[in-house]
Amino acid sequence: ETGVTQSPTHLIKTRGQQVTLRCSSQSGHNTVSWYQQALGQGPQFIFQYYREEENGRGNFPPRFSGLQFPNYSSELNVNALELDDSALYLCASSSPGRHTGELFFGEGSRLTVL
Amino acid sequence: TQLLEQSPQFLSIQEGENLTVYCNSSSVFSSLQWYRQEPGEGPVLLVTVVTGGEVKKLKRLTFQFGDARKDSSLHITAAQPGDTGLYLCAGNYGGSQGNLIFGKGTKLSVKP
């Protein structure tokens, strides 16, 4: 069984640029969630995708957007990067029928905005 | 707005000691998870509790869910250096499946 994989693991951008982060969900999982974890904080929910549609969104501006593909992999796009966007971005997948919210996380993409 | 408070924020103990970490909310959870995160890695699920008053054991770790489903605790017996990490509690308030509210975490350091 393949776990959640994310790419890239680290990247550096400058203010105003755009970034795309990628995630492959765990085998058999059709729901993908994205979280932002700033230094010293717990993860914060950005949004969730189920069957290629956004299915829940946290308190993040529209410049945070996403996609889910037919194979359940997903992308997180952030436009007009700001310094405060520097964080660890975590992707998590969950299996269908699990209504207790258990998530399986990837190792994350560490984004630094200069 | 739901908020999870974790305490203590930092904990540094010697190998063999016992410890308890707390997670509190003013709102009722439909379920609660505990995760452990090591530097540079994503959180790893330890346990899920669903029923008020529920107690679950995972080797030296004991997890308790409050009767009113607003609080939880994690107790570690005879801590070992391998227990070092960030312990996060996360609550599901009945929103979408992947929408968890996380606490800020308890950073545990166990010294040999």
Q: How far apart are alpha carbons A107 and B37 in whole angstroms? A: 10
Q: Mutate which of A4, A24, A37, A49 to disrupt the B interface (most B C-beta within 10 Å)?
A: A37
Alpha-carbon distance B15 to nearest alpha carbon in chain A (angstroms): 24
Q: Token pair for residue A76?
A: 């997180």
B67: tokens are: 């009767």
d(CA A24, CA A89): 14
Chain B residue numbers touching A99 (CB-CB < 8 A): 97
- Please give the interface size between A and B, counted as residue pairs whose CB atoms are below 8 Å apart: 86
Report chain A residues whose CB lies below 8 A from the CB of B35.
Answer: 105
Give yes or no for residue A58 having a pLDDT over 70.
Answer: yes
pLDDT digits (tens, 9 = 90+) for B75-109: 999 999 999 999 999 998 776 667 889 999 999 99
Partners of B33 on chain A (C-beta within 8 Å) are: 100-103
Burial class (CB in 10 A: 0-12, 13-18, 19+), A107: middle
Task: Say whether residue B39 is in contact with chain A using an 8 A CB cutoff.
Answer: no
Bridge partners (DSSP) of residue A74 are: A23, A68
A12-16, A35-39, A89-93, B99-103, range with the lowest pLDDT: B99-103
- What is the rounded distance in angstroms from the CA atom of residue A58 to the CA atom of residue B100? 10
